[in-house]
Copies of this chain bind each other. A is one copy, B any other.
Amino acid sequence: MGITKVDKFEAVINRRAELAKAFAHPARVAILDFLSGKQSCVCGDIVDELPLSQSTVSQHLKELKRIGIIKGEIDGPRVCYCIDGNVWKEAQQHFMETFDKFVETNACC
């Protein structure tokens, strides 16, 4: 099918999966890494940073915007992108909760 049964899971679970999806492709990891390393908006040069075509990069940026983890603002002929601090924190919180839940014991395989 290729269709994820989102309606069968709780909203938190789905949101967690969606936020993880932002980081689940090397191009998006590279984009987010690039943006998070800057102290201000990045205008224009994201495509030059990636080994992919302009349309493909644009598609990945669209997906990141859909998830909400980045914001884009039109600045003349260019577009300025940056991390959305609130969603970034939301993601961080989700992952922290996830990782903190596991406590290793020796009762295991």
Query: Contact flags (1/0) for A82-109 with B, using CB distance below 8 Å?
Result: 1101001001100100110111110111
**Inside 8 A of A88's CB, which chain B residues have their CB?**
99, 102, 104
Chain B CB within 8 A of A46 CB: no
Of B14, B24, B83, the contact of A102 (CB 8 Å cutoff): B83
Q: How large is the interface on A (under 10, 10 to 19, 20 to 34, 35 or more residues)?
A: 35 or more
Q: Does A47 contact B (CB under 8 A)?
A: no
Residues of chain A at the chain B interface (Cβ within 8 Å):
4-6, 8-9, 13-14, 16-17, 20-30, 32-33, 35-37, 39-41, 51-52, 71-73, 80, 82-83, 85, 88, 91-92, 95, 98-99, 101-105, 107-109
